[in-house]
Copies of this chain bind each other. A is one copy, B any other.
């Protein structure tokens, strides 16, 4: 009957055991042999919950390195935890696999995912796998912890707060353009390193979880920039009921993005609206700015003030982007699938 017992262990069970059990390092995941996981919430903490999915041909290219796809799927969720000031606890994974996904792809995908699960201290708690007639889809639900009541909210910014952003803006949007039109590298005067930088920033987000504790200590509000700085900042303004004034000249750009914008000034629009930045925007009282900047820098995360929150005018809360004397108007301030 051992044969029968082995036969009743389905191919799905074996797939999970081989590729995903190594990621389920938390005792509450029970090695993925139960239907569900159980976690003891950290005392005095709120649980922060978020779900985000990525789909082949929509959020990544079907021929992308599967290890990178696995890392990206987790990182887009980790970025939200960073913006909320939350420490990762773990994640659930729902995987829809077309028939042309083979074991080699899955092994590389799981290895990449596992590498980041370990690096960000965010183990796998469970999930499910299904066959799909459509493209590969990776749905992740992530859990984090913040001290009770301390989650950084979109509605947090107060008039007078400084608006800061982590890292650099626009790289991923320009990287996507380069992916779609490789000849643009020449027009933009990019060397190989510059081109590779932009391509890599599209391929693999760099979520700012290292800076989350500093953000939580010093910021009044936070949000991750995933659909473009202009649109996401406008959302934050609406949630907070304040207006943000951004000095576009202060928006941090990588050397490659600076070169591209110098060659084609109209690229400022995709840089500010294109999405996939996975940086954090936060509101910080003037008196906290120096401490935040120093503590974030100590974790390797640059924090740059780019403007200020002010009382909303008669026309309601909004995000204003000033470039010298001009106020920029964007045809499409935010990426939207709909």
Contacts and interface: CB of A to CB of B under 8 A. Distances in A.
A224 interface: yes
A10 B235 CA distance: 10
Prevailing SS type, chain A contact patch? mixed
A129 interface: yes
B128 A51 contact: yes
A5 B320 CA distance: 11
A316 B6 CA distance: 10
Interface in A79-120: 80-81, 83-84, 86, 92-94, 96
A20 to B, nearest CB: 12
A8 interface: yes
A11 B227 CA distance: 13
A146 interface: yes
Given A37-B50, A92-B49, A131 B58 contact: yes
A84 B92 CA distance: 17
Nearest to A221: B34
Interface residues of A, number: 88
Contacts of A30: 153, 155
Contacts of A50: 35-37, 92, 126
Interface in A145-166: 146, 148, 151, 153-155
Contact of A338 (B15, B96, B315): B15
Contacts of A53: 94, 96, 128, 130, 139
Nearest to A34: B154
Nearest to A33: B239
A47 interface: yes
Interface of A: 1-2, 4-5, 7-13, 15, 28, 30, 33-41, 45-53, 55, 57-59, 80-81, 83-84, 86, 92-94, 96, 125-135, 137, 139, 141, 143-144, 146, 148, 151, 153-155, 223-224, 227, 230-231, 234-235, 238-239, 313, 315-319, 329, 333-334, 336-338
5 contacts: A35-B50, A36-B49, A51-B139, A53-B96, A134-B134
Would you list the 10 A-B pairs with minimal beta carbon distance, nearest first? A134-B134, A141-B141, A10-B336, A11-B338, A139-B139, A41-B41, A1-B315, A51-B92, A94-B139, A53-B94
Given A8-B333, A36-B80, A39-B46, 13 more contacts: A1-B318, A5-B234, A8-B234, A13-B235, A36-B81, A38-B46, A38-B84, A38-B146, A52-B128, A58-B130, A94-B94, A134-B135, A139-B139
